[in-house]
Structure 1
Amino acid sequence: MAQTLPKPALRPFLAADVPILAAIFVAAIEELTVDDYSEAQREAWASGADDEERFGKRLASELTLVATLQNSPVGFASLKGADHIRMLYVHPSAAGQGVASMLCDALEKLAGARGAKSLTVDASDTAEGFFAKRGYVAKQRNTVTMNGEWLANTTMQKSLLSDAPKGATQ
């Protein structure tokens, strides 16, 4: 008899989540972006979680959702304002299990509920394919500096208007 994998669940961010979300952030960068960024770039990027208090304040200042498997956090995503995905990170051990898709689905619904007509994200080179499969279109290539290292990403955008059910009436 085949065993079913546990389904991920979502819940709001809690202040007590900061240490584990910082660890997920670092692990995702260190392990999942190896093909796209140098070691020095990954270290500079991951250093964004070195100051847990500051990292936690950033998460708390945005609409942050936490994905869990069997009640343990395995990923998180945050929505800045009504229309910008600020962060989307999944622990390497949970990658490929639908966690990122579930987080992104939820942010897209929340952005639409907040009146956003479209949603943007500054996608890492690693995440660009994920967002493209979800209908996000590349708009602009960017270079950002973190702790003296240059990292490239792509601003991508998805229209939320086409997500309305066909034949729906107001």
Structure 2
Amino acid sequence: MAQTLPKPALRPFLAGDVPILAAIFIAAIEELTVDDYSEAQREAWTSAADDEDQFGKRLASELTLVATLQNSPVGFAALKGADHIDMLYVHPGAAGQGVASLLSDALEKLAGGRGAKSLTVDASDNAEQFFLKRGYVAKQRNTVTVNGEWLANTTMQKTLASDAPKGATQ
């Protein structure tokens, strides 16, 4: 008899989540970006979570959602302002189980609810295909310096659908 995989759920970020979300951030970068970034680049990137206090302040300053499987955090995403996905990370053990899609769907709805007409993201090379499949369009290629290492990403944008056509009645 086939077992049904548990469905991911969402909840708001809590201050006590910082250590596990820092661990998810590091694991996702270390294990899921090997084909796209060098070891030195990954080390520079993960250093953003070295200071958990600062990492927690960043998460708390944005609208951060936590994805859980059986009540355990397995991913998170943060909306900066009304229209920019700042972070979207899923633990490698939960990759491919719909966690990133659930988080993205929620941020797209929240951004629309905040009045955003479009949503942008600076997608890492390994996340670019994920966002392309979701209807994001590449706008520009970027190179950022993190702790002396150059990291490439692509600014992508998605036009958000309006809830109802103009003149529609409910």
Give the TM-score taking structure 1 as reference length: 0.97
Match of 1:149 in 2: 149
1:75 equivalent to 2:75? Answer yes
Q: Superposed, which structure 2 residues align to 1:6-85 within 5 Å?
A: 6-85=6-85
* CA displacement, residues 45-85 of structure 1 (integer Å, 9 cap, x when unaligned): 00100000000000000000000000000000000000000
Q: Which runs of 5+ in 1 are unaligned?
A: none
Match of 1:133 in 2: 133
- In 2: Cα distance, 1:80 partner to 1:96 partner: 25
Q: Secondary structure at the match of 1:152?
A: strand
Q: Which runs of 5+ in 2 are unaligned?
A: none
Amino acid paired to 1:102: L
Moved over 3 A (4+): 163-168
Give the TM-score taking structure 2 as reference length: 0.97
- The offset of 1:2, in angstroms, is 1.1
Match of 2:168 in 1: 169
* CA displacement, residues 26-62 of structure 1 (integer Å, 9 cap, x when unaligned): 0000000000000000000001000000000000000
Match of 2:91 in 1: 91
Q: Secondary structure at the match of 2:104?
A: helix
Amino acid paired to 1:59: L
- The offset of 1:121, in angstroms, is 0.1
- In 1: Cα distance, 2:164 partner to 2:91 partner: 33
Give the CA RMSD over aligned residues.
1.3
- The offset of 1:164, in angstroms, is 3.5
Identity %: 85
Amino acid paired to 2:9: A
* CA displacement, residues 99-136 of structure 1 (integer Å, 9 cap, x when unaligned): 00000000000000000000000000000000000000
Q: Secondary structure at the match of 1:24?
A: helix
1:103 equivalent to 2:115? Answer no
Amino acid paired to 2:140: Q
Q: Secondary structure at the match of 1:27?
A: helix
Residues paired across the two proteins, number:
169
